[in-house]
Structures are given as C-alpha cells and as structure tokens.
Amino acid sequence: MLIRPDSKDDLITNKPYDILCGKMIWHGLVDTSHCPGFGLMDEESANACGLESCSGKLFQWQNKQNDRFYEAGKKYNVPPRVVKGMVAQESQFWPESDIEGEYGLGRITILGIKMLLDWYPAYFNQFCHTIFRMQPHRCGSCFSEMEPQDQNVLVGSLIAKTNTAEEIDLITAAVKASASQIEQIILNTSEFPLEEITDYESLWKISVANYYAGSGCVQRAIASTYLYGYPLIWDTVKNYFGYGCEKTVEYVDRVYSLWE
C-alpha cells in the first residue's frame, strides 16, 4: 500500500460513500426523485437507489483532488494513499463539518494545527515568516516560544486554508508532523535505534493513530507495549489502546481499507 504511486492515476478509488451521497442529495446535486425516500435512508445516509443515482458523481468527487494528494505526498515525503485514506474516513470528501471545532476535509482541529506547528519546525519557520514578514522577530525560534496572540494568528491563518486549494498540502504536512512526533515518542521510550524496534509501515499506522486520537493515547500504548517487552510495531502496539482510545484501531483499519 505504501509503495510510492507512479502518478495521480494510481490514487483513483471508486467507493460507494453513503454519507457523501446523502450530502449530494440534500444539496440538490443528484436527482433522486424516483427513489424511495428520495434516495435517503436517514438524515445522513443514502439508500441503495440513492447510491446508484450518485455513482457517477461519487467517482468524480472522491478523485477530483488526486493530483493534490500526489504532489503533496512528494513534497513532504508522505505516502499519499495514507492521506487520502484519512480524508476518506474523516469526511468522505465532503468539505463542510457538522462538528464544531473540526475543519475541512481532514476535520483538522486546533490541536492538530498546533501539532503541525510544534512538530514540523521547517513548516513553522517558513509559514511564520510569511505571516510576519515585516516583523520576523515575532516568530522566535519555535512555535511554543511565541506570544499567545501571535500563536493564535498562525493557527487562525492555517484554519483559513481549509476548504481551499491549499488544504491537501496542509493535511499532508500535519501527517508529516504526526510522524515526527511519533518518532520522538519511540526514541524517548526505547534505548534502541528506531530502525531496530519498528518498521516503516508501523510508523505510518501509529502516526495515523496519533492524528486521530492524540499523543496521550499513543504514548500510553507505546509505553505499555515496550513495558511488556514487545516490538514497537503496529500489530503489537494496537493491542494497548485502552479506555478512551478504543476506537483508534478501528479508525486506522478503515484508513487502510480504502486500498483493499
């Protein structure tokens, strides 16, 4: 799955997203007047007739940003299939969130934005000096050293990128930051070199878990796995997502199921 795609066409999917279809029906993008219940099974999901009516638009909608997934993946050295799988699970590619505090296709939160700025120093540095180009001293040496009001300016400016042409770039950079945080958590946990205790695919799966559940859940799972003497690979770490973090493994499985 994580083999680098040769082109954006390698990212093509054709999944019957019932919630995405439901949004299309509600917004009048598909004619389902001939369907039982006007193509809707409930307030969110499309029924079988609705999905059949949506099929062409569903294919177009879930693939219309493949070029952005591909280019952002190359730019940040992040598997684009991972990022597209995360967007599929977060939003089914519908840009408007019904949950307060979650933004755009990736349903990124303020905590997710702060993770990006804290754990991707090169991204922070470039972005901060773009925003404060006339006052570069306001950036300091890292995000955590900035004045709170200046931190808020950066966070707000990144949230403003959601639902724009720059959003896939933002989400991909956040996944890269998540991977950097996971690498540091593992290095803090074990005295062994990273390459001796985990593997490439596990790092990305744990990074996806981190994006979804946060570092608290992941840190506890990694610490427990290491405490019991197991290797820090996904197949062992996934067994230690405890109370409050139980849905994490299911989320990661769904992200990767996009390519099954």
Q: What is the pLDDT of residues 54-96, one digit of tens each?
A: 999 999 999 999 999 999 999 999 999 999 999 999 999 999 9
pLDDT in tens, 7-39: 899 999 999 999 999 999 999 999 999 999 999
User: What local confidence, expressed as pLDDT, does residue 2 receive?
Assistant: 57
108, β-bridge pairs: 103
Structural domain spans, the chain: 8-91
> What is the torsional sign of CA 192, 193, 196, 198?
positive
Contact 252, 85 (CB under 8 A): no
Least confident span in 102-106, 142-146, 186-190 = 186-190
This model's pTM is above 0.85: yes
The three-point CA angle 196-206-189 to 5° equals 50
User: What local confidence, expressed as pLDDT, does residue 3 receive?
Assistant: 60
pLDDT bracket for residue 151 (50, 70, 90): very high
Mean of all residue pLDDT scores within the chain: 94
pLDDT bracket for residue 195 (50, 70, 90): confident
SS3 content of the chain, % helix, strand, coil (to 5): 65, 0, 35
Contacts of 246 (CB under 8 A, 6+ apart): none
pLDDT in tens, 211-244: 999 999 999 999 999 999 999 999 999 999 999 9
Taking residues 185-214, report their average pLDDT: 90
